[in-house]
Amino acid sequence: MAKIRLIVEDDEGNQTEQTFLLEGDLEHLDGIESAVEDFRLDALPKIEKALLEAAQAKRIAQEKKTVPDR
């Protein structure tokens, strides 16, 4: 069974790693295409969510620095 390991690194060098298993018949084109499509449907939303959460946290931290206390 093959697996894909994705490493996302931000501008500060912080890394997030996720591993995804490729399941199915990886010895034939149809099986490979199916496994890659399943990977795409599983991995990309998770990666997008992690990137959006990081961007949101960074934005909130910036807002806290610029908004004066009342």
Q: Is the pTM of this model over 0.75?
A: no
Between 66 and 26, whose confidence is greater?
A: 26
Amino acid at 47: I
Average pLDDT value for residue range 31-51: 93
Q: Which amino acid is at 59?
A: R
38: left (phi over 0), alpha (psi -120 to 50) or beta: alpha
Q: What pLDDT score does 70 carry?
A: 60
Burial 29-67 (b: 16+ CB within 10 A, else e): eeeeebbeeebeeeeeeeeeeeeeeeeeeeeeeeeeeee
Amino acid code (one letter) for 44? L
Which pLDDT belongs to residue 20? 93
